[in-house]
Chain A
Amino acid sequence: GAGVSQSPSNKVTEKGKDVELRCDPISGHTALYWYRQSLGQGLEFLIYFQGNSAPDKSGLPSDRFSAERTGGSVSTLTIQRTQQEDSAVYLCASSPGTSGALGEQFFGPGTRLTVL
């Protein structure tokens, strides 16, 4: 089966514009994570979805960032009024199983966002 896919692979935008990044997790995976990787900060957690539970948004850096997961599958990360410091690779990961799971996280290839 297919792995985690993300689109677009690259996105260049102007400062102040809104962007949407998409993640298609592995079918049947109940957990979905967003991370970002930037030169100065390394890999950092952003948000977590598990089934129909309220997402854990504790890693979102500002209220310009939001994410949703429709129907327990596809997820969209939205960044409003982008700033240059938002430039990074945004990674999505999905994981099988339910509470108590030790399952590995399967990562997508990422979306490279460049804010000019």
Chain B
Amino acid sequence: DAKTTQPTSMDCAEGRAANLPCNHSTISGNEYVYWYRQIHSQGPQYIIHGLKNNETNEMASLIITEDRKSSTLILPHATLRDTAVYYCIVRVPRGSSNTGKLIFGQGTTLQVKP
């Protein structure tokens, strides 16, 4: 089962920041927080990941609370093309005893509106 909980759906106005929350209160010390998104009829797409520090890349920012029990994905200027299902996933690094498989929950359906 997924170790994360996310709101089922959210709306965001085009051009505004989209803030997607995720709870992972049972996260282990060696588990990373990953975000993927899935645009309709496409395969999932990697967005960002982090362990305990905040992270930023060209797509988004990831804010992880100090106790690591929750995080927020921020899309700074949402566009219509960002309409998708966003998945928050906790995952251990791939190793001799870990496959690094992704365990998907139901995700958050983000609808960006004009």
Contact = CB atoms under 8 A, between A and B. Distances in A.
Interface in B75-114: 87, 93-96, 99-106
Given A31-B100, A42-B104, A104 B49 contact: yes
A102 B49 CA distance: 9
A95 B94 CA distance: 10
A15 to B, nearest CB: 25
Nearest to B46: A104
Contacts of B95: 99-100
Contact of A100 (B34, B46, B49, B94): B94
Nearest to A102: B93
Chain B interface mostly: loop
Contacts of A50: 94, 99
Interface residues of B toward A: which range?
A: 20 to 34
Given A99-B95, A102-B93, A33 B101 contact: yes
Interface in B13-54: 32, 34, 42-46, 49
Given A91-B43, A93-B44, 11 more contacts: A43-B104, A44-B104, A45-B103, A48-B99, A48-B100, A48-B101, A100-B93, A102-B32, A103-B94, A107-B44, A107-B45
Interface of B: 32, 34, 42-46, 49, 87, 93-96, 99-106
